[in-house]
Chain A
Amino acid sequence: MAKTSMSLWIGGAAGDGNAFAGRAFIKACSRSGLHGFAYNSYQSLIRGGHVLLQTAVGPEKVYTQADDCDILIALNQDTIEREAADAALGVLYNGDRLKLDAAKLRPGAKTLALPCMKLTSNPLLQNTVALGALFQLTGLDFALFETFLKENFDKKGDAVVSGNLAAAKAGFEYSQKNFPDLGIRLPKREGRHMVMTGNQAIALGAVAGGCKFFSGYPMTPASSIMHWLSPRAAKFGLVFKQAEDELAAMNMAVGAGIAGVRPMTATSGGGFALMTEAISLAGMVEAPVVVVEVQRGGPSTGLPTKTEQGDLFQVLGAGQGDFPKAILAPIDLEDAFHSTVEAFNLAEKYQMPVMLMSDLLLSEHEGTVVDLDMDVKLERGTWAVPGQAPEDGGFFPRYADSETGVSPRAVPGQEGLMHVASSDEHDERGNLISDVHTDPAKRVLIMNKRMRKLEGVLRDFKPTRLEGPEDAELTIVGWGSTTGMMRHVMRHFNQNGAKRVNILPIRYIHPFPADDVLSILKRAKKVMAMECNYTAQLCRLIRMETGFHIQTRWLKYDGEPFYPGSTIAKVSEVLRG
């Protein structure tokens, strides 16, 4: 029986067009009602280097890239040398330019040389030729490729479109006549899935969540949030501002929050370090702001294009002093969308900074999403009624004490609610108590008021729950993109109704849902944690918040994400041990 799922890798140097080829493939799959996952392993280079786009597709949900590929498309000689031996079924390449020694392939894998110079007069179209052949080899609907080429090259004119269509057809027909059947038939199913990256899901969540101000400074792997937002900003009433640095980006967002809009900024670890002082300011002046921190390999400039989950304690500790804040860490693409909306609601309801932590793998990988409920509920919290200037002529009590710790909000321009949003400790009216007027009782009152807000935040959080069978032999704990691999492993071990593994993805970092997590971990038969960092930061957080010590840890910090083979081997060992 033919394979209905597969892994395709596309390798070349930066600038060779891997991304285009990968996109054509995953779009055709998603439009065939298939699921997909694409991870691009790349370096901090504009041209050159070795870029390997690893895609996996099939009729069932795909959680991860694969250990090896069924078909490799090699766009340069370097890819053949590095990756050809990892192709199970065949290697597609431009036979006019590249050399492949069949003896270096796995047994049964085929050399699939395309005489590109004969098939197209334009050497730039070698990718299109190869994709034409790929559609033939995999049974994907060729019409979907034609549609993709038209969409993609429409703006470049008819000549470019027709040149690509001809090259695609030539590749398809050459494959039909000359290549063996590799035994892959990707099925066509009902529905057209969406394809998006985590950063696009966050950006979409921002638009749906009523974000009206985005300030940012470019930094991999957060920049694609601004790339998606900036061309759409004017349509949705959102001001997009590239700032001079992350200090400005964060402070602009705080200023916008004080002025009454829902603001967002996004960065990675290094940029976030510059933002921390203003995050504390947002806590003090009780301004809503959402800060996205997309983690990459650290420390310092670290591994700019590689994945890691090493900033948990940086974000947890961000900002001088104690102040209320929330940290959400979405676990998949759908959650990246919904967590963003949730972050904006929490930020306004509790008038505080909310951090959204992602990681390079979650933010940059492309995956299929069946549907998103865009009809989200927006909660703007409690507002002061305008026109109630205090009779004594003093400032309006913007920071009035309350049972929830939330004070009715007022923004500049409103009648009779004038006050100063003060970075120094202040009283209910925002008058400073820091210098000559220092008042310990007032300080305690205001500090308690602010911090009390966290009780409500914790109540508003959705419950933290296990996924999978309640009474499994092993509970795997993790966060962020690692959840994908945890789900993959769980499905692997629980085939045919087995109850070997369940998983506990943690999506709230602060305030920590300690009761939920502790009660789950106490009931677990065996616990292991998986994270992409050196010091098991999530394990340390769990121990700090619950006292529960997770001793079995599967940690990775080589810059690459978890791979299924080695992870399954590790989990097997833990299950045996």
Chain B
Amino acid sequence: MAKLAVKSTATFPVPTIEPRAAKAAKKPDEFKSEIKPDWCPSCGDFGVLNALQKACATLGIPNKDVLCVSGIGCSSNLPGFFKTYGIHSLHGRSNPIAAGAKLANPELTVVITGGDGDGFGIGLGHFIHNMRRNLDVTYLVMDNQIYGLTTGQTSPTTTIGTQTKSTPEGCIEHPINPMALALVSGATFVARTFSGEIGHMTEVITKAISHKGFSFVDCYSPCVTYNKVNTYPWFKSRVYKLEDQKHDTADLRAALDKAFEEEKLPIGVFYKKEGVPSYEELDPTISRLGAPVKQPLDLKPADAKALKDSFR
């Protein structure tokens, strides 16, 4: 096995990070990694990956300036298939990992990806807190209403009555309403889309990434192996586009009404609030000095002396 050679250098006082590169026209293929996705054939997650790659190409973001952070689960394998920087982290912890990375280097475009179990089950608390912070990141949840990688147990969005491996007599818990939750938790961009509508999904994700502040996109992403209820045909017969309606995306109450529709399922941008400062813009350190990763590490001698004197 050939050893991979790497040119290295000793100590950087501060890592050399080139300024954010200019946007340039790109092809979606430029965001494809060498690794072939290991998802089941026709898994909804393919749609999300394709749409994300198209959105990044449309936006012309330099690959090196994107950080894709995922949790654990089928959908959380996504960063490996996406040619950017990535962190494939822990189950439920993608939000705080992303928060730490974004606060260390606010110049990055941070996209968080994962599933409904990861984001609405084990990671629910972190999800809510990142929303109320209005951190400038995009969170894409591939919502298939089932635990896929662990072979088919109930998830926080499984509907009442659905039989799964862990609910053989049907789920008896009320599902999480991710849209309503996001709307009341301070997210400044809340949208839903569907893997069966790649064009729509690409548009929504493009808007989400362009939005300044926390953007949340619930992506209906059918699990073809373990969810025999919420299938492509099931969604196809129920979704309708908000873009075709007279929906006011600035109206929080109208968005909440849409979040509680059950017979038909609206997709598109539910709510968008412009002009809210992001967490990074308000942070006392970043607002004054910029990216922490670009700060010199050494203490100035005068500061060191003043610190010591403060204890005398």
Contact = CB atoms under 8 A, between A and B. Distances in A.
B9 to A, nearest CB: 5
B96 A248 contact: yes
A414 B64 contact: yes
Interface in A190-224: 192-196, 200, 204, 207-208, 210, 212-213, 215
A363 B52 CA distance: 48
Contact of A383 (B9, B18, B305, B307): B9
A257 B100 CA distance: 8
21 contacts: A210-B298, A212-B104, A212-B292, A237-B289, A241-B103, A248-B99, A251-B89, A252-B96, A256-B103, A258-B97, A260-B293, A261-B293, A381-B11, A383-B15, A394-B34, A401-B3, A409-B15, A415-B18, A430-B80, A432-B77, A432-B88
B64 A418 contact: yes
Interface in B63-122: 63-65, 67, 69, 72, 77, 79-80, 83-90, 93, 95-105, 107-108
A327 to B, nearest CB: 21
Contacts of B4: 390, 397, 400-401, 428-429
Contacts of B246: none
B166 interface: no
Nearest to B3: A401
Interface stretch (B217-225, B250-258, B262-270, B280-288): B280-288
B86 A421 contact: yes
Contacts of A557: none
Given A239-B286, A262-B297, A420-B80, A255 B18 contact: no
B22 interface: no
Contact of A285 (B3, B87, B100): B87
B3 to A, nearest CB: 6
Nearest to A245: B125
B293 A411 contact: yes
Contacts of A390: 4
A251 B96 contact: yes
Contacts of B301: 375
Contacts of B1: 441
A477 interface: no
Contacts of A238: 285, 292
A241 B86 contact: no
A432 B34 CA distance: 12
A565 interface: no
A1 interface: no
Nearest to A201: B311
A244 B132 CA distance: 11
A100 interface: no
Main secondary structure of the interface of A (DSSP, over half): loop
B298 A378 contact: yes
A152 interface: no
B25 interface: no
B88 A393 contact: no
A247 B47 CA distance: 31
Given A196-B311, A233-B285, A260-B104, A412 B96 contact: no
Given A374-B307, A385-B9, A193 B108 contact: no
Nearest to A196: B311
Contacts of B10: 382-383
B131 to A, nearest CB: 11
B228 to A, nearest CB: 24
A380 B34 contact: no
Given A204-B307, A213-B292, A375-B304, A408 B108 contact: no
Contacts of B295: 212, 237
B65 A413 contact: yes
Nearest to A192: B312
B211 interface: no
Contact of B308 (A194, A233, A262, A441): A194
A151 to B, nearest CB: 11
Contact of B100 (A253, A375, A396, A441): A253
Contacts of A393: 34
Contact of B105 (A204, A241, A259, A432): A259
B177 interface: no
A430 B86 CA distance: 10
Interface of B: 1, 3-13, 15-18, 20, 33-35, 38, 63-65, 67, 69, 72, 77, 79-80, 83-90, 93, 95-105, 107-108, 125-126, 129, 283-286, 288-289, 292-293, 295-299, 301, 303-305, 307-308, 311-312
A193 B93 contact: no
Given A383-B15, A423-B88, A413 B104 contact: no
A430 B87 CA distance: 10
Residue picked from B9, B35, B293, B295, most chain A C-beta under 10 Å: B293
Contacts of A423: 72, 88-90
Given A260-B105, A374-B299, A384-B8, A255 B96 contact: yes
A164 to B, nearest CB: 22
B308 A278 contact: no
Contacts of B18: 386, 413-415
Contact of B101 (A258, A277, A396): A258
A194 B295 CA distance: 28
Contact of A261 (B5, B104, B311): B104
A207 B285 CA distance: 14
Given A207-B307, A386-B18, A237 B103 contact: no
Residue picked from B5, B89, B96, most chain A C-beta under 10 Å: B96
A255 B99 contact: yes
Contact of B6 (A200, A212, A388, A436): A388
A266 to B, nearest CB: 15
Residue picked from B6, B72, B77, most chain A C-beta under 10 Å: B6
Nearest to A31: B312
Given A251-B96, A255-B96, A422-B88, A392 B34 contact: yes
B97 A255 contact: yes
B288 to A, nearest CB: 6
Contacts of A432: 77, 80, 88
A379 interface: yes
Contacts of A385: 7-9
A243 interface: yes
Contacts of A421: 86-89
A395 interface: yes
Given A193-B312, A251-B126, 11 more contacts: A195-B311, A255-B87, A259-B108, A383-B9, A385-B8, A400-B4, A413-B65, A420-B86, A421-B88, A423-B88, A432-B80
Contacts of A411: 15, 17, 105, 293
Nearest to A27: B312
A380 B14 CA distance: 9
Contacts of A245: 125
Nearest to A435: B38
Contacts of B100: 213, 215, 241, 251-259, 263
Contacts of B307: 204, 207-208, 374
Contact of B8 (A254, A382, A414): A382
A20 interface: no
Residue picked from A207, A251, A382, A388, most chain B C-beta under 10 Å: A251
B292 A248 contact: no
A248 B96 CA distance: 5
B311 to A, nearest CB: 4
Interface string A151-195: 000000000000000000000000000000000000000001111
